[in-house]
């Protein structure tokens, strides 16, 4: 599938900002199953400095600094991307999950690259509740693919999607207590439970192309950023592979999913992050996203 997408973030302040510095994760990744055909990034006011870079996890980023005094900052990214469904080796999916701990796979030369994603991270800490929850999917000797899908299914069944239940600062304790949350929360819960058992998985930030209800017109700009997880699969060639699963929608991430960035948790890959110098006492944030067939 080919997708045309744009992401617009608007910050508004009640007093002038004299200096704004930030880093953007807005360019989709180039991957074996995803091709970036076009990408254009614009900021208003125009930054005095802007530089592309690649972060520790291989994501393409942009650093910027705006020194023009402003009360509004608009960041817009437009991209055209082709995405294919992913195909995995059935033999790898059938490996017992205990054999998928990267720290124990010295027979695979590149397994060390996944070890960081089997460890706690700032937003996905060691959590006894998450470990216990995931353990129900990890019966001894269970095939890795089957266990991964089971944990995805259970999160979808046991936790309600509710935008009011959590905030961006909510913890695993909050999610488990409320039994509700949003895509970011469900991804973090999956990661915490998975990593608690020595398994590797990463947080993925991107977009999901949605379809309107029957008889309804598509509303331009009504889409949103999305989050899911990728489970490390110990590939026979050493590099491994990643099984992409979406607990929010209880399905594998296929050709309707556009990958932008991957990391340990949300804190590694927010679309826009930065600091400002201002005497403003209040501000507002508006985010508009659209993903349409391209």
Percentage with pLDDT > 90 across the chain? 89
Residues 251 and 285 in one domain: no
Which residues, in sequence order, are bridge partners of residue 72? 12
CB 143 within 8 A of CB 94: yes
What is the CATH number for 32?
2.60.40.2250
What's this model's pTM, rounded to 2 decimal places?
0.94
Same domain, 254 and 115: yes
Average pLDDT for the chain: 94
Whether 160 and 278 map to the same domain: the answer is no
Q: Give residue-wise pLDDT tens across range 187-226.
A: 999 999 999 999 999 999 999 998 766 766 655 555 789 9
Beta bridge partners of 286: 10
- Taking the C-alpha atoms of residue 286 and residue 145, their distance in angstroms, rounded to an integer, is 39
User: Rounded mean pLDDT of 76-93?
Assistant: 95
**pLDDT at position 14, please?**
97
Judge if 76 and 169 occupy the same domain. Answer: no
Q: How far apart are the first and last CA of the chain?
A: 8
Q: Are residues 34 and 114 in the same domain?
A: no
pLDDT band of 54, cuts 50, 70, 90: very high
Give the three-state DSSP class for 271. Answer: coil
The mean pLDDT of 269-281, rounded to a whole number, is 96
> Domain containing 180: what range?
90-267
For residues 75 and 213, give the distance between their C-alpha atoms in angstroms, rounded to a whole number: 30
Check if the beta carbon of residue 21 is closer than 8 Å to that of residue 275. yes
pLDDT grade for 168, boundaries at 50, 70 and 90: confident
Is the distance from CB of 209 to CB of 166 less than 8 angstroms? no
Q: Same structural domain for residues 133 and 219?
A: yes
Measuring CA to CA, which residue among 114, 153, 107, 149 is closest to residue 241?
A: 114
The pLDDT assigned to 232 comes to 97
Say how many C-beta atoms besides its own lie within 10 A of residue 147's C-beta: 24
What single string gives the DSSP state of each residue in 31-77? BTTEEEEEEEEEEESPPSEEEEEE-TTS-EEEEEEE-S-EEEEEEEE
Residues 190, 216 within the same domain: yes
| Number of domains comprising the chain | 2
Whether residue 274 is found in the same domain as residue 238: no
The stretch 272-278 carries a mean pLDDT of 96
Q: How confident is the model at residue 142 (pLDDT cuts 50, 70, 90)?
A: very high
Same-domain pairing of 259 and 279: no
CA 156, CA 86: separation in Å to the nearest integer?
Answer: 22
Q: Identify the pLDDT of residue 218.
A: 59
> What was the pLDDT predicted at 51?
96
| pLDDT the model gives residue 237 | 57
Dihedral of alpha carbons 233, 254, 83, 209, sign:
negative
- CA distance linking residue 47 with residue 69, whole number of Å: 11
Of 3-12, 38-47, 215-224, least confident by mean pLDDT is 215-224
| Angle (nearest 5°) at CA 234 between 138 and 111 | 115
Average pLDDT for residues 268-273, to the nearest whole number?
96
């Amino acid at each position: 599938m080919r997708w045309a997408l744009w992401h617009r973030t608007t910050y508004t302040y009640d007093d002038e900002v004299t200096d704004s510095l930030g880093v953007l994760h807005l360019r989709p990744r180039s991957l074996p199953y995803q091709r970036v055909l076009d990408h254009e990034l614009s900021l208003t006011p125009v930054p005095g400095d802007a530089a592309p870079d690649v972060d520790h996890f291989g994501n393409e980023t942009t650093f910027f600094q705006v020194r023009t005094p402003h009360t509004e900052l608009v960041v817009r990214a437009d991209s055209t991307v082709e995405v294919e469904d992913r195909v995995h080796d059935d033999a790898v999916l059938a490996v017992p999950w205990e054999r998928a701990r990267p720290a124990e796979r010295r027979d695979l030369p590149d397994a060390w690259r996944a070890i960081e994603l089997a460890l706690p991270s700032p937003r996905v800490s060691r959590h006894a509740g998450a470990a216990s929850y995931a353990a129900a999917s990890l019966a001894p000797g269970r095939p890795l693919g089957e266990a991964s899908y089971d944990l995805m299914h259970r999160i979808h069944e046991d936790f309600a999607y509710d935008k009011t239940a959590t905030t961006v600062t909510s913890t695993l304790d909050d999610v488990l207590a409320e039994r509700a949350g949003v895509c970011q929360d469900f991804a973090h819960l999956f990661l915490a439970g998975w990593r608690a058992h020595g398994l590797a998985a990463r947080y993925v930030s991107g977009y999901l192309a949605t379809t309107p209800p029957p008889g309804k017109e598509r509303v331009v700009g009504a889409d949103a950023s999305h989050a899911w997880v990728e489970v490390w699969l110990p590939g026979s060639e050493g590099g491994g592979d990643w099984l992409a699963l979406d607990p929010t929608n209880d399905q594998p991430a296929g050709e309707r999913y556009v990958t932008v960035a991957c990391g340990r948790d949300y804190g590694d890959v927010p679309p826009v992050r930065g600091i400002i110098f201002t005497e403003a006492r209040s501000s507002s944030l508006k985010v508009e996203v659209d993903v349409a067939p391209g």
